Amino acid sequence: MVEKHSMREAPHSIYRMGEQGSRGNLIGRNIGNYRIVTELGSGAMGQVYFAEHMVMGRRAAIKVIREELSSNADMVQRFVNEARSVNRIGHPNIVEITDFGELDKRYYIMMEMLEGETLEERLERVQHLDEASALHIAMQVADALGAAHELGVVHRDLKPENIFLTRRGGRNDFVKVLDFGIAKLTTQLTPTDATIPGMILGTPHYMSPEQCYGDSQLDHRSDVYSLGIVLYRMLTGRLPFEGATLQRLLLAQIGETPPPPRDLNSEVTERTQGIILRTLEKNREHRFPDMRSLRAALDGTGPVQPAIERTRELASPAPELAVTPLPTVEPDKDQPRRVGSRLAKILLDRIRSDRLVLPSIPTVALQCLELLNKPELGLAKVVEAIGQDPIVAPQVIRRAHSALHGGSERVRTIEQAVSRLGARQLRALLVELSARRLFESRNAAIRKLFHELWEHSLAVAQVARMLALRRRDIDADAAYLAGLLHDVGKPVSAALLLEAERVAAKQAAAWLASDAWLGVISECHREVGVAMARSWNLPDDLVLAIARSARYSNEGPGSITSVVCFANALVKRAGIYPGAFDLEKNDALVREGGDLYCMSEAAITALTAIIQDEEAQRNTLPS
């Protein structure tokens, strides 16, 4: 029910975001023909005030950017984008912006005053909605976002708090989509419009996997995913993905399959469940291609699945990496991207259905890692377990006796080695030895390549440790492992690719040029690396670093992801990487890392020389 208010009374609305107050002394001020009456609340970017037209009594909400953000060009631009985006769209299901301007060097947006409640408030009150009501709301949101997408505007922060339910023209639950403050204009970007690569913008519970990766090239299918999560919650009262930490939540968005809605609410129809699950596809190519097709599915006039069901390349379980051969393509510069994209789809399908055969961690390493997580047991059982493995035992002794850990006394027993290394470094070594096995191959064609990939990973790990030791907020051992494992998905992807090539060769279909082989696995290895690390029960920060180490984290220099990204760029600059890569892009990452970690160009040059020297020394040592 819509409440009635006096002229001086602020209506209940979305804009009531916090305690009332008088920040900035704007109450009583005039903006055009409007007088500011009271503050309704505040958000991350500014305060929202209730204002009245001094002659006509018309009500308005005025959002004013925070005083401390007014000098921040990026924040001001984002504020301007909101007004520009909404004004361009002009859809009845999007909150109307009536004016935009500046007051005391603070920008403001004047909006229609909405009375009612947010979808978040509704769901907090009733837990979940019946299917008809949920579909009614979702169709209006799809209409609004569809209009935005047609003009190249992606919302990027769709959630129940930004869906307002009001009454309009005798209709209940008339939707107004709010807060285009981080919307992206995909058709006309300027440098200040562009998102910083790697920065996470949005609300994690409703973000698409590509948002979680920090992808700067988000498109309208990200909003399709977010609307799917909103619909899931409306019908089940629960979110499809949860996490005790931000890292765990992001990893769930990236790699976990949600419980089917009908498992939580039996009244959800099969058709609606199919719509939701398609919107929540991890690969955006498999979602509804646009809001128009999603809207048609919601109202029953369009199909739930594509007209041509996508090929299930690996539908039957198999103990080995058997695949249907990939299509023949002509060698060209786009070949790695095309084949890599196809291979990534195959891998993702297998990961999500638990049909990707991932290398398991060696038994002795698994036993020791479990024992190391129980310090009350002491190290005696760890020593006993290592002693039973004729391959691991000598390597543990060799590492303990190395210059990095050694002392004047020679290590002769496993007990001495374990004692010298300690639990943390022993844990890192066991994971390293397990990962090393993945980069070995009997195939002569890729043996050298795998060796070079491993050398690259070792160098990144050592540089990541070096960078971490310069700071107090990063675990150096964790940084080392994250650097070592950042490319761990490549050998697993390579195994699948080799099998596909073997099948193609039998059919006389030479579909992949040899110089494009590494480019293909580089296109699709991260998802496999994440699945690999999670199957080994590695810590969340390591898993997230594998997923996102191609770009810097918005958490800043104290993030392991950022350390690995910088280390990777430095090692590539030093020439320790098999195959080609984008030199210009890599140099940009090095410069950005130098700024992030306060390293001058001279210091970076000196560090690069050290990396090259250590690599040369490592290559002169016996294996």
Q: Choosing from 99, 130, 143, 157, which is the catalytic residue? A: 157
Residues 230, 158 contacting (CB under 8 angstroms): yes
- What 3-state DSSP class applies to 529? helix
pLDDT score at 359: 77
Q: What does the buried/exposed string (b/e) look like for 184-194 if buried means 16 or more CB atoms within 10 Å of the residue's CB?
A: bbbeeeeeebe
Rounded to 5 degrees, φ, ψ at 436 are -55, -35
State the pLDDT confidence band at 563, using cuts at 50, 70 and 90.
very high
What is the C-alpha separation between 57 and 9, in angstroms, rounded? 12
The whole-number pLDDT of residue 450 equals 81
Q: Which of 89-98, 131-140, 236-245, 595-604 has the highest mean pLDDT?
A: 131-140
Segment 495-503 mean pLDDT: 63
Higher confidence at residue 471 or residue 502? Answer: 471
pLDDT tens digit sequence for 222-244:
999 999 999 999 999 999 998 77
Task: Report the interhelical angle of 246-255 vs 540-548 (nearest 10°).
Answer: 50
Flag whether pLDDT at 577 surpasses 80: yes
pLDDT of 150 > 90? The answer is: no
The rounded distance, in Å, linking the Cα atoms of 339 and 218 is 21
* Known catalytic residue at 157: yes
Q: Is 176 helix (H, G, I), strand (E, B) or coil?
A: strand
Contacts of 36 (CB under 8 A, 6+ apart): 26, 27, 28, 29, 30, 49, 50, 51, 62
- Residue 327 reports pLDDT greater than 50: no
Q: What is the model's pLDDT at position 84? A: 73
When pLDDT is averaged across residues 545-568 and rounded to a whole number, the result is 88
As a whole number, mean pLDDT of residues 489-506 equals 66
Average pLDDT, the chain: 77
* Helix (H), strand (E) at residue 607: helix 601-620
Q: Is the pLDDT of residue 569 over 90?
A: yes
The enclosing H or E element of 112 equals: strand 106-112
The answer, yes or no, to whether residue 144 has pLDDT greater than 90, is yes
C-alpha dist (Å) from residue 445 to 440, 449, 494, 511: 12, 8, 12, 17
Pairing mode, if any, of strands 46-53 and 163-168?
A: unpaired
Of 53 and 274, the one with more pLDDT = 274
Q: What is the structure's pLDDT at 590?
A: 94
Q: Where in the chain is the domain with CATH 1.10.510.10?
A: 117-298
Fold of 439-620: Hypothetical protein af1432 (1.10.3210)
- Taking alpha carbons only, the member of 23, 115, 92 closest to residue 64 is 23
Percent of the chain with pLDDT over 70: 75
CA distance 78 to 552: 21
Q: Give the confidence band of 128 by pLDDT, cuts at 50, 70, 90.
A: very high
| 613 — pLDDT class (breaks 50, 70, 90) | confident
Is the model's pLDDT at 3 over the cut of 50? no
Q: How far is CA 392 from CA 180, 351, 382, 386, 389, in A?
A: 56, 29, 12, 7, 6
Q: What does the pLDDT read at residue 240?
A: 94
- CATH number of this structure's domain 117-298, picked from the four choices 2.60.120.1140, 1.10.10.10, 1.10.510.10, 1.10.645.10: 1.10.510.10
- Encoded tokens for 328: 């023949």
Q: What is the pLDDT of residues 306-317, one digit of tens each?
A: 754 433 333 333
Indicate the SS3 state at residue 572: helix
* Whether 262 contacts 156, CB under 8 Å: no
Could you give the angle at which helices 540-548 and 560-573 cross, rounded to 10 degrees?
40
Q: Over the stretch 173-225, which tens digit does the pLDDT of each residue have?
A: 999 998 875 555 443 333 333 343 333 445 789 999 888 877 667 889 999 99
What are the distances in angstroms from CA 1 to CA 5, 121, 123, 172?
A: 13, 14, 16, 9
Q: What is the pLDDT of residues 73-88, one digit of tens each?
A: 777 776 677 677 777 7
The predicted structure's pLDDT at residue 388: 78
Find which of 224-238, 322-336, 448-462, 548-562 is predicted with most confidence, using mean pLDDT.
224-238
- The CATH homologous superfamily of the domain defined by 23-112: Phosphorylase Kinase; domain 1 (3.30.200.20)
pLDDT of the residue at 404: 57
Q: Is residue 603 scored above 60 in pLDDT?
A: yes
pLDDT score at 593: 93
Kindly report which listed range (36-45, 104-113, 131-140, 233-242) carries the lowest average pLDDT score. 36-45
Query: pLDDT at position 184, please?
Result: 53
pLDDT at 117 over 60: yes
Asked if residue 501 lies in contact with residue 516, where contact means CB atoms within 8 angstroms, the answer is no
pLDDT band at 342 (very low <50, low <70, confident <90, very high): low
CB 160 within 8 A of CB 229: no
pLDDT digits (tens, 9 = 90+) for 426-484: 888 888 888 888 887 766 667 777 888 889 998 999 899 889 888 888 888 889 889 99
* From-to residues of CATH 1.10.3210.10 in the chain: 439-620
